Amino acid sequence: MTIRAGSLDRRTLLRGAIATAAMGSFAVACGSPSSKDNGGGGPKGKKGAKNPFGVAENSKVEAAIFDGGYGTDYVDYANNVMGKQVKGVKVQVKPVVDIAPELQPRFVGGNPPDLIDNSGEDQIGFLGILDQLEELDDVFEAENYEGKKIADTVYAGVKDPGTFKDKFVALNYVMTVYGVWYSKTLFEKNGWTPPKTWDEALDLGQKAKKKGKYLFVHGKEAATYYQTLLIGGAIKEGGDEVRIALENLEKDSWSHPAIQGILKVMETMVKEKMFVPGGSGTQFQKAQAIWSNDQKALLYPTGGWIENEMKKATKDDFQMTGIPEMTLTGKPKMAYEAVHAAAGEPFIVPKQGKNPAGGKEVLRAMLSKDAAANFSKTKLAPTIVKDTVPADGYGSSALVAQSKMLADAGENIFTWNFISAYGMNTDQLVPWNSFLAGDIDAKGLTSELQKISDKIREDDSVEKIKVS
């Protein structure tokens, strides 16, 4: 997953939240008072099918919610559904921008909120507070408000980004889907078919040139979107061995045949001028507008946030649609339909909160079909709850595409964390901009990317995360 250099926005933070949190610098001393499980608990209620955590009637739940691109109103919405389960329970939402500076002292003091959306540039590092957090397996084992086991209603793998040292402590609520985006209207008008392989993409690039258009466009801060496209396609082509080698910063990990095969096709595209020129000197949103508004480029690789981000700079009747990343051949180790997606927006329940049972109940409310559908409708993004987006995507073609990609993928959903975990993106932007500008070739790009991985691997001061 990629993170742009410079100021971090809501979208960037979602992509980095999974692993950057594990390496976060805002660690709370393990010897602080709040690290001892000797308090909290709050008021108790009678446990039952409708009240699995024993939250007390008429109790209050303090929720500190990151006030970013999604706002905080979707957590307020939990009040609309919680009362159906436990009488009088109310969530009091406090918007917070700088999570660690504001909430870290409360962990140290032993009086944290009952629920925290631990997101944003200043999120608290999970490893530093791991022993002070409730494990959330019981949330997934509980029934939702519709009477179904929550674990059976969410997408595959959504526990993984919130699991640290085998403890599931962070419930990531939003599903970020990555793919290649295009205008369905433009493609239908010209009789073009979205590519499934890189050879098909190359052929489409030739057709685009005949129409006076380009295949791709990039902006200087987002050049590594093409790295995301490369890695996603290579993992599908070569299987887990590609992902594991990259994650573990192995020697020659960037030289895997699946990676090199795709890079060679990319190199050809650059040489044959299938990228809009000047991207390495163009601000990324302006570059994206060349695709979404001017339609000079046919394809753009990015995450499902793109429709909302470019809604003011998208041509009428664009019908933004997404497909999974292309594979190198027609017989990849993972199916073409396999999709790169990851859960983000991590919610935690501190043990020392006044009402941790209430914090879990808010999560259960948010995982109801009612609340999840409300989020998707108002934020144009899917949650981890399946089957909550209608066929029309609330009028959003991009949301329809995301739902379809997730449904088609089934259990074949994957992601990777090493780039955000080690803060590599800023360094990687340099060679990627050079490559897309035609200043270095695939061999030069491979060498530069490997140097970045090697430097971190050989730095003993950097804590490594072993991936298997």
* Cβ atoms of residues 1 and 302 within 8 Å: no
- Give the Cα separation of 77 and 79 in Å (integer): 5
Alpha carbons within 13 A on the beta-carbon side of 468: 1
Q: Which residues of 349-380 are buried (b: 16+ CB within 10 A; e: fewer)?
A: bbbbbbbbbbbbbbbbbbbbbbbbbbbbbebb
The pLDDT tens digits for 122-141 are 888 887 899 999 999 999 99
The pLDDT tens digits for 20-69 are 334 443 343 333 443 334 344 666 888 988 899 999 999 999 999 999 87
The pLDDT tens digits for 306-353 are 988 898 999 999 999 999 999 999 999 999 999 999 888 999 999 999
Q: pLDDT above 90 covers what percent of the chain?
A: 76
pLDDT band at 15 (very low <50, low <70, confident <90, very high): very low
* Cβ atoms of residues 374 and 148 within 8 Å: no
Nearest Cα neighbor of 76 from 60, 89, 92 is 92
pTM: 0.78
- Give the Cα separation of 70 and 120 in Å (integer): 11
Q: Residue 28 has what pLDDT?
A: 39
Count of Cβ atoms closer than 10 Å to residue 149 Cβ: 12
The pLDDT tens digits for 228-258 are 999 999 999 999 999 999 999 999 999 999 9
- Report the pLDDT averaged over residues 209-227: 97
pLDDT band at 402 (very low <50, low <70, confident <90, very high): very high
- Report the pLDDT averaged over residues 161-174: 92
- Give the Cα separation of 153 and 137 in Å (integer): 14
Q: Residue 107 has what pLDDT?
A: 96
- Report the pLDDT averaged over residues 143-162: 93
* Cβ atoms of residues 119 and 345 within 8 Å: yes
User: Does residue 2 have a pLDDT over 60?
Assistant: no
| Mean pLDDT (the chain, rounded) | 89
* Cβ atoms of residues 315 and 246 within 8 Å: no
Q: Residue 41 has what pLDDT?
A: 61
The strand pair at 60-66 and 90-96 is best described as: parallel
If you search the block for the tokens 């790169």, which residue do you land on? Answer: 340
Residue positions counted in the chain: 468
Burial class (CB in 10 A: 0-12, 13-18, 19+), 449: buried
pLDDT band at 75 (very low <50, low <70, confident <90, very high): very high
The strand pair at 115-117 and 339-348 is best described as: antiparallel
User: Does residue 383 have a pLDDT over 80?
Assistant: yes
- Report the pLDDT averaged over residues 165-187: 95
